[in-house]
Structure 1
Amino acid sequence: MTKVKLFFALFSLSILLTLLLSGLPINAIHATNEPPSWLLAQEQANEQPFEQAVQNSQKIEGLLTLYHHQKTGKVYLELTPEQLNKNYLCFISLDSGIGQAGIFRGLNLNEFVFQWRRQNNKVQLVVPNINFRTQPNDPQSRSVNRSVSDSVLYSLPIISIHPERKTILIDLSSVLTSERDLSNLANSFSSFLSSNYSIDPEKSYINQVQAFPLNIEIESVFGFSENPGSMRRGLSSLPDSRSFNLNVRYSFLEVPSEESYQPRLADERVGYFTSIYKDISNSSHRSSIVRYINRWNLQKSDPNAAISTPVKPIVFWIENTVPFEYREAIRQGVLMWNAAFEKAGFKDAIQVEQMPDDADWDPADVRYNTIRWSTSFQPGFSGYGPSHVNPLTGQILDADIMVESNAVAKFYEGISVLIDQNQQNNATQMNQNPCNLGRASLARLTSASHSNVSPDFSSEHLCFGFESNRQLAVGAMAMSLLNGVNENSSEIKDYVQQYLSFLVAHEVGHTLGLRHNFQGSTLLAPEQLHDTNITHSLGLVGSVMDYVPVNLAPKGETQGDYFPMMIGPYDQWAIEYGYTAITGNSLYAQGQALEDIAQRSGEPELAFATDEDYWGVFLDPAANVFDLSNNMLQYSQWQLDNAIAMWKGLESHSPTAGEGYDQVRRMFETVFGYYQNNAENMVLYIGGQSFNRSRVGDANSRLPFEPIPVNKQREALTLLQKYIFSEDAFQFSPRLLNQLAPSRWQDWGNPDADSTLEYRIGDRILRLQKSILEEILAPTRLVRLRDLELKNPSQNTLTMPELFEVLQNSIWTEVFQSEKDIKISGIRRSLQREYLNLLTQIVLREVNVPEDALTLAWYQLKQLQAVLDRTLEKHNNRMDAYTLAHLELTRDRIGKTLGAQLQTN
Structure 2
Amino acid sequence: MKRLYRIACLILGFLAVTILPSWGNVVDLPVTPRVQVAQTLEYRVKAEESEEAKSPKSFDELIAETQKEDGVFTLYKTENNEKLYLEIAPEQLNRNFLCVMTLSSGIGEGFLLNGMPIGEILFQLRHVQDRVQFVVPQTNFRTDPGDPLARSLQEGFSDSVLYSLKIESIHPERKSLLINATNLVMGEEDLSGLSTFLPYLLNGAYSVSPDSSYITEAENFPENLEIEALYGFRGGGFMSLPSLPDSRAFNLAVHYSFSPLPTGNYRPRLADERVGYFLTAYKDFGNSDRRDPFVRYINRWNIQPGKPLVFWIENTIPLEYRDAVKEGILMWNEAFAQAGLPQAIEVRQMPDDADWTPADIRYNVVRWSSSFEPMFYGIGPSRTNPLTGEILDADILIDANVVRLIKGQYQTLVNPDAGGGQQQSLLQTFCQATLENSYLRGVDLSDELEAKKDRLSGFPLAQSLLDRDVCFANEFNRQLAIGATSLSLVQNVLPSSPEMENYVQQFIRFLVAHEVGHTLGLRHNFHGSTLLSPEELQNPEITRTLGMVGSVMDYVSPNLAPPGKPQGDYFPMKLGPYDVWAIEYGYKPLNAISPEAELRELRQIAQRAAEPELAYGTDEDFISGLDPAVNIFDLSSDPLTYAQWQFENAQAMWSRLNRRSPAPGESFSEMRELFDTVFIYYFRNAMNLPLYVGGQSFNRHYAGDPNGGLPFQPLSVEKQRAALAAINEYVFSAEAFEFSPNLLNQLAPSRWSHWGAFPDLFELDYPISDRLLLLQKVVLRSLLSPTRLSRLQDLELKTDATEEVLRLPELFATVQESIWTEVIDGDIANLSSIRRALQREYVSVLSNISLRQVRVPEDAVTLAWYNLRELEDQINHTLRRRGRGLDTYTKAHLEKTRDRIAKVLDAPLESKSIEKESPPKAQ
Structure 1 Cα separation of the partners of residues 522 and 911 of structure 2: 53
**Corresponding residue for 2:599?**
591
* 1:394 to 2:389 alignment: yes
CA spacing shift, 1:667–1:785, aligned 2, 3 Å = same
The worse-fitting range, judged by mean Cα deviation, of 564-573 and 273-282 is 273-282
Structure 1 Cα separation of the partners of residues 248 and 466 of structure 2: 25
Measured against aligned partners, the alpha-carbon deviations of 1:56-104 in whole angstroms (never above 9, x if no partner) come to 4443432112333446834332211111111101112222322223333
Spell out the pairing of 1:444-593 with structure 2 (5 A cutoff): 448=456, 451-457=459-465, 464-593=472-601
Deviation at 1:844, TM superposition (A): 3.0
Deviation at 1:641, TM superposition (A): 0.6
Q: Is the 8 A contact 2:487 2:493 kept in 1?
A: yes
* 1:789 to 2:788 alignment: no
Structure 2 residue aligned with 1:316, among 311, 331, 346? 311
Q: Is the 8 A contact 1:268 1:693 kept in 2?
A: yes
CA spacing shift, 1:393–1:453, aligned 2, 3 Å = closer
Q: Is the 8 A contact 2:556 2:635 kept in 1?
A: yes
Structure 2 Cα separation of the partners of residues 460 and 883 of structure 1: 51
Deviation at 1:899, TM superposition (A): 3.4
Structure 2 Cα separation of the partners of residues 592 and 856 of structure 1: 53
* 1:649 to 2:644 alignment: no
* 1:884 to 2:886 alignment: no
**Corresponding residue for 2:92?**
83
Deviation at 1:729, TM superposition (A): 1.4
Measured against aligned partners, the alpha-carbon deviations of 1:843-863 in whole angstroms (never above 9, x if no partner) come to 333322222222222222222
Paired residue type of 1:340? A
* 1:439 to 2:446 alignment: no
Q: Is the 8 A contact 1:779 1:849 kept in 2?
A: yes
CA spacing shift, 1:376–1:202, aligned 2, 3 Å = same
Paired residue type of 1:252? F
Structure 2 Cα separation of the partners of residues 882 and 101 of structure 1: 49
* 1:832 to 2:839 alignment: yes
* 1:351 to 2:346 alignment: yes
Q: Is the 8 A contact 2:133 2:161 kept in 1?
A: yes
Structure 1 residue aligned with 2:220, among 207, 211, 228? 211
* 1:281 to 2:286 alignment: yes
Deviation at 1:450, TM superposition (A): 5.9
Structure 1 Cα separation of the partners of residues 302 and 490 of structure 2: 49
Structure 2 Cα separation of the partners of residues 587 and 893 of structure 1: 68
* 1:250 to 2:251 alignment: no
CA spacing shift, 1:702–1:160, aligned 2, 3 Å = same
CA spacing shift, 1:781–1:186, aligned 2, 3 Å = farther
Q: Is the 8 A contact 2:380 2:468 kept in 1?
A: no
Structure 2 Cα separation of the partners of residues 240 and 500 of structure 1: 34
The worse-fitting range, judged by mean Cα deviation, of 166-175 and 329-338 is 166-175
**Corresponding residue for 1:264?**
269
**Corresponding residue for 1:29?**
none
Structure 1 Cα separation of the partners of residues 606 and 785 of structure 2: 36
CA spacing shift, 1:148–1:352, aligned 2, 3 Å = same
CA spacing shift, 1:58–1:717, aligned 2, 3 Å = farther
The worse-fitting range, judged by mean Cα deviation, of 77-86 and 834-843 is 834-843
Paired residue type of 1:393? T
CA spacing shift, 1:843–1:189, aligned 2, 3 Å = farther
Q: Is the 8 A contact 2:76 2:85 kept in 1?
A: yes
Structure 2 Cα separation of the partners of residues 461 and 890 of structure 1: 46
* 1:293 to 2:298 alignment: yes
Q: Is the 8 A contact 1:407 1:469 kept in 2?
A: no
Structure 1 residue aligned with 2:630, among 611, 623, 641? 623
CA spacing shift, 1:289–1:828, aligned 2, 3 Å = same
Spell out the pairing of 1:734-749 with structure 2 (5 A cutoff): 734-749=741-756
Q: Is the 8 A contact 1:742 1:755 kept in 2?
A: no
The worse-fitting range, judged by mean Cα deviation, of 64-73 and 865-874 is 64-73
Q: Is the 8 A contact 1:174 1:181 kept in 2?
A: no
Structure 2 residue aligned with 1:145, among 133, 154, 168? 154
Q: Is the 8 A contact 1:412 1:666 kept in 2?
A: no
Measured against aligned partners, the alpha-carbon deviations of 1:625-665 in whole angstroms (never above 9, x if no partner) come to 11111100000100111011111111222323321111111
Q: Is the 8 A contact 2:168 2:180 kept in 1?
A: yes
**Corresponding residue for 1:6?**
none
Spell out the pairing of 1:700-719 with structure 2 (5 A cutoff): 700-719=707-726
CA spacing shift, 1:387–1:835, aligned 2, 3 Å = same
Deviation at 1:461, TM superposition (A): 5.6
Structure 2 Cα separation of the partners of residues 408 and 442 of structure 1: 34
Please give the TM-score of this superposition, normalised by the length of structure 1: 0.89
CA spacing shift, 1:209–1:442, aligned 2, 3 Å = farther
Paired residue type of 2:661? S
RMSD of the alignment, in Å? 2.6
Q: Is the 8 A contact 2:236 2:247 kept in 1?
A: no
CA spacing shift, 1:450–1:741, aligned 2, 3 Å = farther
Paired residue type of 1:686? V
Q: Is the 8 A contact 1:329 1:500 kept in 2?
A: yes
Deviation at 1:183, TM superposition (A): 2.5
Structure 1 residue aligned with 2:121, among 112, 117, 125? 112
**Corresponding residue for 2:10?**
none
Measured against aligned partners, the alpha-carbon deviations of 1:215-270 in whole angstroms (never above 9, x if no partner) come to 11122222222245x5x4x221111122222222211110101x411111111111
Structure 2 residue aligned with 1:133, among 142, 145, 148? 142
**Corresponding residue for 2:73?**
64
Q: Secondary structure in 1 aligned to 2:348?
A: strand
Please give the TM-score of this superposition, normalised by the length of structure 2: 0.87
Deviation at 1:578, TM superposition (A): 0.9
Structure 2 Cα separation of the partners of residues 482 and 544 of structure 1: 27
Deviation at 1:366, TM superposition (A): 0.9
Structure 2 Cα separation of the partners of residues 327 and 370 of structure 1: 13
Deviation at 1:824, TM superposition (A): 1.1
Deviation at 1:559, TM superposition (A): 0.8
Unaligned runs of 5+ in 2: 1-51, 445-449, 913-923
CA spacing shift, 1:422–1:575, aligned 2, 3 Å = closer
Q: Secondary structure in 1 aligned to 2:873?
A: helix
Structure 1 Cα separation of the partners of residues 831 and 416 of structure 2: 26
Deviation at 1:457, TM superposition (A): 4.2
Number of residue-to-residue matches in the alignment:
845
Deviation at 1:458, TM superposition (A): 6.1
Q: Is the 8 A contact 2:851 2:910 kept in 1?
A: no
Paired residue type of 1:440? R
Q: Is the 8 A contact 2:412 2:680 kept in 1?
A: no
Structure 1 Cα separation of the partners of residues 467 and 304 of structure 2: 40
CA spacing shift, 1:247–1:449, aligned 2, 3 Å = farther
Structure 2 Cα separation of the partners of residues 752 and 901 of structure 1: 49
**Corresponding residue for 1:182?**
191
CA spacing shift, 1:552–1:243, aligned 2, 3 Å = same
Deviation at 1:462, TM superposition (A): 5.9
Structure 1 Cα separation of the partners of residues 410 and 635 of structure 2: 22
Structure 2 Cα separation of the partners of residues 843 and 177 of structure 1: 63
Structure 2 residue aligned with 1:608, among 604, 607, 616? 616
CA spacing shift, 1:768–1:819, aligned 2, 3 Å = closer
Deviation at 1:706, TM superposition (A): 0.6
Structure 2 Cα separation of the partners of residues 336 and 71 of structure 1: 44
Q: Secondary structure in 2 aligned to 1:200?
A: strand
Q: Secondary structure in 2 aligned to 1:204?
A: strand
Paired residue type of 1:290? V
Structure 1 Cα separation of the partners of residues 443 and 340 of structure 2: 43
CA spacing shift, 1:748–1:793, aligned 2, 3 Å = farther
Q: Is the 8 A contact 1:317 1:369 kept in 2?
A: yes
Paired residue type of 1:101? G
Paired residue type of 1:338? N
CA spacing shift, 1:754–1:98, aligned 2, 3 Å = farther
Structure 2 Cα separation of the partners of residues 787 and 904 of structure 1: 22
The worse-fitting range, judged by mean Cα deviation, of 353-362 and 219-228 is 219-228
Deviation at 1:105, TM superposition (A): 3.0
The worse-fitting range, judged by mean Cα deviation, of 176-185 and 733-742 is 176-185
Paired residue type of 1:255? L
